[in-house]
Amino acid sequence: MELVLSVSIGVLVASGVWLTLRPRTFQVIIGLCLLSYGVNLFIFAMGRLVEGAAPIMPKGGFVDPDVYADPVPQALVLTAIVISFATTALFLVVIMASRGLTGTDHVDGSERNP
């Protein structure tokens, strides 16, 4: 599991990074989305992987923390998801505006001079 998830995080991050280094705005935004998947999974992985142990507690009594997944990374990922959603939306609007104002979808607002 750990291996598969690590490799997957790596693939997401690598694709994301590769795309964010590209010159077209849409590539960058897709890249940022992929990157945020990778990062979110990374945060999540920091709580270690547990199957069938959602952090939903019994009502009262002794609670053994080790039986449940760590809720902290999950809470962090939730916040991160929301924030990356918001910023993706904003970035999208900005690339729309940039496309409209410059007539190109190059990140620099003008085509690279050969």
Partner 1 sequence: MTPALILAWVLLLSQVCLVSALVLASMRAIRGPRAQDRVTGLDTMYVCAMLLMVVTGMRQGTHFLFEAALVIGTLGFVATTAMAKFLLRGEVIE
Partner 2 sequence: MISPVHMIVAPILIPLVSGAIMLLYDERRRRLKQGIGLASCGLQLVVAIALILRAKDSGDAVSLYLLGDWASPYGIVLVLDRLSAVMLLLGSLLALPSLLYAGARWHRNGQHFGPLFQFLLMGVNGAFLTGDLFNLFVFFEVMLAASYGLLLHGTGRARVGAGLHYIAINLLAAMLFLLGVALIYGVTGTLNMADLATRVANLSAADRPLIHAAAVLLSGAFLIKAAMWPLCFWLPNAYSAAAPPVAAVFSIMTKVGVYTVIRLGMLLFGPAAGASSGFGAEVLVVGGLATIVFGMVGVLASQDLSRMTGNLVLVSSGTLLSVVGLALEYQSAPMLSGGLYYMFASTLAIAALFLLAEPIGRKEGGIAGLLAVTAEAYGLDPEDEVATGDVGPVIPGATTLLGIAFLTCVMVVAGLPPFAGFVGKLAMLAPAVDVAATLPFVWGHWLFVALLILSGLATMIAMVRWGIQSLWANADEPPLPMVEIASVMALVGTLVLLTFAAEPAMRYLDRTAEALTQNSVYIGKVMTTAPTGTGTE
Partner 3 sequence: MLAETLILLLVVLPFLGAIAATTMPVSARNGEVVLGGGVMLAGLVALAALFDQVSDGRVVSRTIEWVPSIGLDLTLRVDGFAWLMLLLVFGIGFLVVIYARYYLSPADPVPRFYGFLLAFAGAMVAMLISGNILVMVVFWELTSVFSFLLIGYWHQSAGARDGARTALIVTGTGGMALLAAMILLGQVVGSYRLDDVLAAGDIVRAHEWYPWILGLFLLGAFTKSAQVPFHFWLPNAMAAPTPVSAYLHSATMVKAGVYLLVRFSPVLGGTPAWFWIVAGTGMATLILGALIALYRNDLKGLLAYSTISHLGLITALAGIGSGGAIVAAIFHILNHAVFKASLFMAAGIIDHETGTRDMRRLSGLRHSMPRTSALAIVAAAAMGGVPLLNGFLSKEMFFAEAADWHNGTWLDTALPYLATLASIFSIAYSLRFIVQVFFGPPATDLPKEPHEPAAWMRRPVELLVLLVLLVGFWPAAMIGAVLQSGVLAVLGVDAPYYSLALWHGFNTPLKMSLTALALGTVLYLIAAPRLQRANEAPAFLERLSAQALFDRLMLLLTRKWSLRLYRRFGTRHLQVQMRLVVLLVAAGAAATLIDATRMWPRGLFQNFDITFALMWLAGCGCAIGAAVQAKYHRFAALALLGGAGLVTAATFAWFSAPDLAVTQLMVEVVTTVLLLLGLRWLPKRSQEIAGDRSYQARARRAQDLVIASVCGVGVASLAFAVMTVAPGLTIGDWFRRNAYAEGGGTNAVNVILVDFRAFDTLGEITVLGIVALTCYALLRRFRPAPESVALPSQQTFVELPPLSAAEAECEAEAKASKEPTRHDVMMAIPSVIMQWMFPVAIAMSAYLFLRGHDLPGGGFAAGVAFAIALLLQYLATNVRWIESRITILPVRWIGAGLLFAVGTGAGSLLFGYPFLTAHAQYVTIPLIGQVPAATALLFDLGVFAVVVGATVLIQIAIAHQSLRSARLRARDEAEALSQEER
Residues that bind partner 2 (CB under 8 A): 20, 25, 28, 32, 35-36, 39-40, 42-43, 45-47, 72-73, 76, 79-80, 83-84, 86-87, 90-91, 94-95, 97-98, 101-102, 107-109
Residues in the chain: 114
Which residue number, 3 or 56, has a Cβ lying nearer to partner 1?
56
Which residues within the stretch 38-77 sit at the binding site for partner 3 (CB under 8 A)?
Answer: 38, 40-42, 44-60, 63, 65, 68-75, 77
Closest contact distance (angstroms) between CB of 28 and partner 2 is: 6
Per the CB < 8 A criterion, the answer to whether 31 and 16 are in contact is yes
Binding-site ranges for partner 1 (CB under 8 A): 51-52, 54, 56
Kindly provide the b/e burial profile for residues 61-86, where b requires at least 16 CB atoms within 10 angstroms of the residue's own CB: eeeeeeeebbeebeeebeebeeebee
Q: Which residue has the tokens 């693939």?
A: 11
Rounded to 5 degrees, φ, ψ at 106 are -75, 145
